[in-house]
Structure 1
Amino acid sequence: MSEIELDDVDHRLLSEVAADGRIANNVLARRLGIAPSTCLTRTRRLIDAGVIRGFHAELDLAALGRPLQAMISIRLQPSARNQIEEFQHYLTTLPGVINVYFLAGTEDFQIHVAAPDGDALRDFVVGSISRRREVAGTHTSLIFSHVRPPLAV
């Protein structure tokens, strides 16, 4: 990412886009009080600089047949320290994995997963995570609800 200076308009633009990645340029420009051409130029500048890295859809996991969500903490064996990148990549290939976090502290990874039910979640943890040689232990926490607050930019 290039380091660029962000002014108040950039911060407001980023807040609006973070809240609604599909906002139309003319609506965004009107909310910011700038011309649509200026708004488009600013947005492209933020994309080119790597400040805006992408636009994403938030999916209804229950509608996709995966209503049960969990956070799984994973601790690797001390001997597996040289396999961190490989293990991280492996996690990204597993079905149902929404996010992968590489952490500092007692746990090495935390993954956000969605599963059809408790049996499928258990099978995932035991069959896809715990059975791996490099894994020393796991801890699974069920997610009751998830709320995404507006991003303060």
Structure 2
Amino acid sequence: MELSQKDLDILAALQENSRLTNRELAARCGSAESTTYERVQRLVRAGVITAFTAEVDPAALGRPMQAMIAVRLRPQTEEVVQRFLHTVLDDPCILDATVISGEIDVLLRVAVSTPEQLRTFAWRKVTSARSVQSITTHLVYEYRRRPVCMST
């Protein structure tokens, strides 16, 4: 699907605040309300917009400490990766998991309340999977999310 500048403007605005009303979105993007509504519906139907969500601050939920846990699995097979993800993704500490290429197979971003909770999660949950060869934990000092597409 080819995206116009108006489409990109809509996407940027919705990524900043998905709760904008159609009227607010139209005013912000300089389009008629009916046109804006139709564009948003087209973007949803095309799978460009996959969800309208709320971003929650883990610190506000009592989990101010974030970390990235790099996980190395052996053997490196899709089945092993999927089994590992199934094992760990049910834990509320996990914010997201990314399967990547290279020496590291999975990168977990977690949010916890204390260093002890991080250690317990890493040792008891992550390394309990038999396929885990090694983990490396990195504390997150700051996290910023950039919108996927920015209008010009």
Matches within 5 A, 1:66-145: 66-78=63-75, 81-145=78-142
Question: Are the equivalent residues in 1 in contact too, given 2:74–2:80 (CA < 8 A)?
Answer: no
Pairing 1:24–2:35 present: no
Query: CA shift at 1:86, angstroms?
Result: 2.2
Query: CA shift at 1:148, angstroms?
Result: 2.6
Task: Summarize deviations over 1:50-99 as a string: whole Å, max 9, x none.
Answer: 10111221212122111110000000012665322222233321121001
Match of 2:3 in 1: 6
Query: CA shift at 1:20, angstroms?
Result: 1.1
Question: Are the equivalent residues in 2 in contact too, given 1:91–1:100 (CA < 8 A)?
Answer: no
| TM-score, normalization by structure 1 | 0.91
Question: Are the equivalent residues in 2 in contact too, given 1:69–1:115 (CA < 8 A)?
Answer: yes
Question: Structure 1 residues 101, 26: closer, same or farther in 2, change over 3 A?
Answer: same
Cα distance in 2, alignment partners of residues 65 and 94 from structure 1: 15
Q: Which amino acid aligns with 1:143?
A: V
Q: Which amino acid aligns with 1:70?
A: A
Query: CA shift at 1:150, angstroms?
Result: 4.7
Aligned residues: 150
3-state SS of the aligned residue for 2:59?
coil
Pairing 1:34–2:31 present: yes
Query: CA shift at 1:40, angstroms?
Result: 0.7
> What value does the CA root-mean-square deviation take over the aligned residues?
1.5
Among 134, 138, 148, the residue aligned to 2:145: 148
Cα distance in 2, alignment partners of residues 7 and 98 from structure 1: 32
Percent identity among equivalent residues? 35
Cα distance in 1, alignment partners of residues 137 and 53 from structure 2: 26
Cα distance in 2, alignment partners of residues 80 and 8 from structure 1: 41
Moved over 6 A (4+): none
Unaligned runs of 5+ in 2: none
Q: Which amino acid aligns with 1:51?
A: V
| TM-score, normalization by structure 2 | 0.91
Unaligned runs of 5+ in 1: none
Pairing 1:65–2:62 present: yes
